[in-house]
Amino acid sequence: MTHWIDETLHPDFRFRLKADAVLHEAHTTYQHLVIFENGEFGRVMMLDGAVQLTERDEFIYHEMLTHVPLFAHGEAARVLIVGGGDGGVLREVLRHDTVKEATLCELDADVIEAAKTYLPDVSAGAFEDSRTALVIADAAKFVAETANRYDAILVDSPDPVGPAEVLFGADFYRNCKRVLATGGVLATQNGLPFVQADELRQSLKNLSGLFTDASAYLATVPAYVGGAMAFGWASDNPELRAVPLGELESRLRAANLPLRYYTPEVHQAAFALPKYVSEITESAG
């Protein structure tokens, strides 16, 4: 009998993926976790009925959440990853030789262990890297209390339901700003603005009240059904969003990274928002 698994994130539409084999399913302390095989996308991880990643297209999301802020900054030495228990953003962060320490703060240790077991190529050994500092904790509490400072904060969170809801609030962003080093940058996962406009609008409203420069950029990830994915952007240094193409090219050449989606041209174009998205960002300002 053919087995299908529905994504149930959106209230007015669903899509389903064929599960050729369910590799792991559990109710962790915080959420429902399932990892399964799909003939088109490879292995798929879902949390509480929402696709988190697929083997086939995870490189798009992870490269864009990581390399847009890190190449814009150019000298990020200390990076905080909020969430990201699959290890994909951590993998990409550690490709940068400028990074001396990458702290990953994940609430659910079971997600990390499941990803290491069933999706090992996503982290590709990043959890064992000597520069990795793994913190199992509530990230909202962590950024409120830590004395550390970071050049970049990358929020790789699920959608704002359940335990992740606090990671889209004004208090969380205020504390992120507190722990950002001077000239630092914050990038966030902000959903699909075509079907989740309120999520992006509210996040940018919160960010624009705290940072000199708050905006969004886009990438298209096939497994995230409902349009282009938005990433929130915030910094007190407006120049980071306007790094010249030649400088981005120079930084990428120096880094010599084996990337499949990110290019300097894509970096710049990602901030060119379609009108329906720019209307959301402008209404939040």
Contact 215, 271 (CB under 8 A): yes
The per-residue DSSP string of 186-229 comes to: EEEE---TTT-HHHHHHHHHHHHTT-SEEEEEEE--TTS-SSPE
In the residue annotation, 108 being an active-site residue is answered as: no
- In degrees and rounded to multiples of 5, residue 207 shows phi and psi of -70, -40
Catalytic residue, chosen from 57, 156, 171, 213, is 156
Cα–Cα distances (Å) from 139 to 96, 103, 175, in that order, read 23, 11, 10
Residues noted as catalytic:
156
